[in-house]
Structure 1
Amino acid sequence: MVSAERVFELLDEKEEIPDPENPRVIEFPRGEVKFQYVKFGYKEDVTLTEDMNLDVRQGQTIAIVGLTGAGKTTLVNLLMRFYEIQEGKITIDGINITDLK
């Protein structure tokens, strides 16, 4: 029964947002990353992050530290679009990551 429940949960998941037909390419990346008013939760009705802003400028080095479960890996997963945000935007060198492949 447990396995069947997991299969049905998987089948009920929303489909991923497809890559754009003509994705933009960053030919000479500078490394500027911005999270602007990002809202995210693994489930739509449970928000983990709301109005999160992060600005990493070219050449800047930052450290993401925190206890286990604080969200360090989630930040990277959002940047890589392993998860989609509910609101706001994430940009690399001024280009929205939803416009990239």
Structure 2
Amino acid sequence: MADIRYYDVILKPIVTEKSMNAMGEKKYTFMVHPEANKSQIKEAVEKMFEGTKVKSVNTMNMDGKNKRRGMVVGKTAKSKKAIVALTEDSKDIEIFEGL
């Protein structure tokens, strides 16, 4: 497995209607490195966003979608998504404020 640092774990936030509704329950959704495990994701969130305490991490692996361009058939890259639940006394994550 590759040597993954905490700043390489979280790739980008996922902003959808479903993830925005989950923010009321202090659950935030991120696209993460495919080889990152739950403890690495927890460490990355707590280090990158000051004052946050992670209660739980749920991950899901998503297969690439089938794509076709003319007669050429292929797949997009696999990805991994993580839903991070924060504790009640934790601060909110700043990048989601005002959305």
So what's the TM-score if we normalise by structure 2?
0.24
| Structure with the higher fraction of residues in helix conformation | 2
Which has the higher relative contact order, 1 or 2, with Cα contacts under 8 A spaced 6 or more apart? Answer: 1
